[in-house]
Amino acid sequence: MDFYLGIDFGTSGARAVVIDESAHIQVQVRYPWLEVDSLVSSWQKALLTLLGQIPEQLRREIRAIAINGTSSTVLLCDVNGNPVDTPLLYNDGRGSLVLEELRDIAPANHTVLSATSSLAKLRWMMQLPSFGEARYFLHQADWLGFLLHGQLGISDYHNALKLGYDVEKLKYPEWLESLQTPIQLPKVLPPGTPIGEVRPEISQQFLFPDDCVVCAGTTDSIAAFLASGAKSPGEAVTSLGSTLVLKLLSHTRVEDARYGIYSHRLGDLWLTGGASNTGGAVLREFFTDAELENLSREINATKASQLDYYPLLKVGERFPINDSNLPPRLTPRPDNPAEFLHGLLESIARIEAQGYELLQKLGADSLNQVYTAGGGAKNPTWAAIRQRNLKVPVISSLNTEAAYGTALLAMQRIRE
């Protein structure tokens, strides 16, 4: 039997999933983030602990491994791959200090023009005393992959998008090349491309086959999309977590910086999407998860609520309405809590439908099916309300674990 291993380094912990040739899960293991003094040593420990937790009989037949990391979590390494400073995490905003300078360099509205982009982080890191020792700039997934295959300076085009890599032409753009950054930017491969065999020390320690390969990785949110089962143009995944995130698979690339819309490349297709500030965090302001479940059962999902809210925690929205002054709209509030919840769920569903309409108006393929992930996915009443608003089938994701999506990525490229 051949097995495939996907490893997810997400925001709340690290997980690993082993699948067989039929994409069935053989084992899942996890490693929660603990209080640690060094980020890189905790990543390394998490990786090795996860590998050790996989039963030996599976490890002996793993053909390929891929890793996903959080997007724009980056670090500088020396010639031997040792980090020269603390990594900057995905949400680290210190890049805001170089945004002005970046605006003079990058094309208007480019994805790199954000305080948390990989390129903003790299430009910020250039003033660190440790920068002199650095030879390579890597993303979290690149460095973790290096620990397994031993090759430095390799990334994938999902992680490299926010570094400014041109995912359409598959090269670094001229404006980026002309900066002559005094450090090696990663060589960028399609996600899932086999990079090399597992280092001998690793295969001896964990009893992987000698020809087990490590593949180029991806980011955690794309891995979660891959896990859903969506694969044809027109299929989408809505994530109903603290915020509302839409992703729609399309033949065309859609970008609009005003709404924070951009597209990742997915083979010959594009994964386009946007993120709204509405979502489950607003529901949590008013209801516990148990109340959400119980009150939802009292709602007649076939009937549209006439309450027209714009549920936000604070002023400001980007997608599908670009208005930094948009106020939360949560009135009138009926006395009956189920009626109030109905209004909230209906209003978020309308915003979701408006989001997909905007993506289609900007050129994305017609929506034909929506998978659902996140904490709100388990609410059947909401699914029915959404289906009525979206006018396409709303179905559960096959799986919502990024580690599972990454295992699929490892398998697909090997078996092509």
Please, what is the minimum distance in Å from the beta carbon of residue 39 to ligand ADP?
21
Helix (H, G, I), strand (E, B) or coil at 305: coil
Report the residue from 17, 283, 370, 390 that binds ligand ADP according to the rule CB under 6 A: 283
**Residue 286 is a binding residue for ligand ADP (CB under 6 A):** no
Query: Measured from the CB of residue 296, what is the shortest distance to ligand ADP in angstroms?
Result: 6
Quick check: 13 binds ligand ADP (CB under 6 A)?
Answer: no
For 127, other C-beta atoms within 10 Å of its C-beta total: 9
Task: Pick from 28, 44, 184, 242 the residue near ligand ADP by CB under 6 A.
Answer: 242
**Interaction pattern, residues 140-159, with ligand ADP; x per rule: CB under 6 A:** --------------------
Q: Residue 41's CB: how many other CB atoms inside 10 A?
A: 11
Nearest distance from residue 400's CB to ligand ADP, in Å? Answer: 8
CB of 355: closest distance to ligand ADP in angstroms? 16
- Cα separation, 266 vs 191, in Å, equals 9
**Closest Cα to residue 253, out of 177, 359, 354?**
359
The nearest distance, CB 318 to ligand ADP, in angstroms, is 16
Cα(372)–Cα(398) distance, rounded to whole angstroms? 9
Question: Residue 241, interface with ligand ADP (CB under 6 A)?
Answer: yes
The nearer residue to ligand ADP, 15 or 63, going by C-beta atoms, is 15
Taking the C-alpha atoms of residue 151 and residue 161, their distance in angstroms, rounded to an integer, is 21
Segment near ligand ADP (CB under 6 A), from 41-49, 147-155, 258-266, 285-293? 285-293
Q: Exposed, middle or buried: residue 13 (CB in 10 Å: 0-12, 13-18, 19+)?
A: middle
Q: Which lies closer to ligand ADP via its Cβ, residue 345 or residue 359?
A: 345
Q: Least Å distance between CB 376 and ligand ADP? A: 4
Of 247-266, which residues contact ligand ADP (CB under 6 A)? none
Q: What is the closest distance, in whole angstroms, from the C-beta atom of residue 299 to ligand ADP in the complex?
A: 11
Please state, as a whole number, how many other Cβ atoms lie within 10 Å of the Cβ of residue 229. 18
74: left (phi over 0), alpha (psi -120 to 50) or beta: beta
Minimum distance of ligand ADP from residue 114's CB (angstroms): 19
- The nearer residue to ligand ADP, 9 or 172, going by C-beta atoms, is 9
Candidates 41-49, 187-195, 288-296, 364-372: pick the segment binding ligand ADP (CB under 6 A): 288-296
- Least CB distance to ligand ADP at residue 275 (A): 10
C-beta closer to ligand ADP: residue 125 or 295:
295
Here the tokens at position 34 are 């603990």
The answer to whether residue 168 forms part of the interface with ligand ADP (CB under 6 A) is no
Backbone phi and psi for residue 273, each to the nearest 5 degrees, phi listed first: -175, 175
Say whether residue 271 binds ligand ADP (CB under 6 A). Answer: no
Q: Which residues contact 53 (CB under 8 A, 6 or more apart)?
A: 16, 29, 31
Stretch that binds ligand ADP, among 21-29, 38-46, 106-114, 280-288 (CB under 6 A): 280-288
The footprint of ligand ADP on this chain (CB under 6 A) covers a number of residues equal to 16
135, 199, 253, 284: which one binds ligand ADP (CB under 6 A) = 284
| By the rule CB under 6 A, 294 interacts with ligand ADP | no
State how far the Cα of 53 lies from the Cα of 45, in Å rounded to an integer.
12
| C-alpha closest to that of 199 among 190, 191, 208 | 208
Residues numbered 369 to 388 that lie near ligand ADP (CB under 6 A) are: 374-376, 378-379, 382
Residues with Cβ < 8 Å from 410, sequence gap 6 or more?
Answer: 4, 5, 6, 64, 65, 66, 192, 215
Judged by CB under 6 A, the stretch of 88-96, 218-226, 252-260, 291-299 that binds ligand ADP is 291-299
Residue recorded with tokens 């598959």: 170
Cβ atoms of 258 and 161 closer than 8 Å? no
Beta strands in 303-413 (DSSP E): 369-373, 394-396
Using CB under 6 A as the binding rule, whether residue 233 contacts ligand ADP is answered as: no
Spatial CB neighbours of 152, under 8 Å, sequence gap ≥ 6: 77, 79, 81, 135, 136, 138, 146
Q: Which residues bind ligand ADP (CB under 6 A)?
A: 241-242, 280-281, 283-284, 289, 292-293, 296, 374-376, 378-379, 382
